[in-house]
Amino acid sequence: MLARAKKAFTLIELIAVVVVLGILAALAVPTFSAVKESAAEEIALRSAEGIVNEAEALAAFDGATMSDTYIDAAGADAVGYNAQGNTITVTRSGVSKTATIANDGTVSVA
């Protein structure tokens, strides 16, 4: 009688593969979460800076100093932003960034 060739995986081999894939997934998920959070933070930051830059451009075009009116005009098409006084808060993907405009015209974003 001829010996049959092995054509299937054993249960132990399948379990080992599942365990290895589980370990790799457990290592990868936190990394992807950190990257996603970092990206959302960067998007909010750039959006706030963009609104400030647009407001500065509108004010310069009119030969005026930046005011709430220019900030509101610059952010008219932006979703998820709130302007009050000399600050703009932009929220993107659950992350908020605030741009503050000093009296000398400098902008800080945090």
In a domain, 59, yes or no: yes
In a domain, 7, yes or no: no
Q: What is the mean pLDDT of residues 7-31?
A: 90
CB within 8 Å of 78: residues ≥ 6 apart = 47, 50, 51, 90
Answer for the pair 34, 28: CB distance below 8 angstroms, yes or no: no
Strand runs (DSSP E) across 1-110, as ranges?
81-84, 87-92, 95-101, 107-109
| Angstrom distances, CA of residue 73 to CA of 3, 13, 70, 108 | 82, 64, 5, 20
Write out pLDDT tens, residues 64-91.
Answer: 766 667 667 776 666 667 766 667 777 7
In a domain, 60, yes or no: yes
The tokens of 106 are what?
Answer: 């400098």
Q: What is the pTM of this model?
A: 0.52
In a domain, 65, yes or no: yes
Residue span of the structural domain in which 52 resides? 14-109
Q: Which of 2, 82, 22 is nearest to 48 (CA)?
A: 82
Distance, CA of 41 to CA of 89 (rounded, Å): 12
In a domain, 1, yes or no: no
In a domain, 9, yes or no: no
Write out pLDDT tens, residues 85-108.
Answer: 667 777 766 777 777 766 665 666
In a domain, 2, yes or no: no
* Domains of the chain: total: 1
In a domain, 26, yes or no: yes
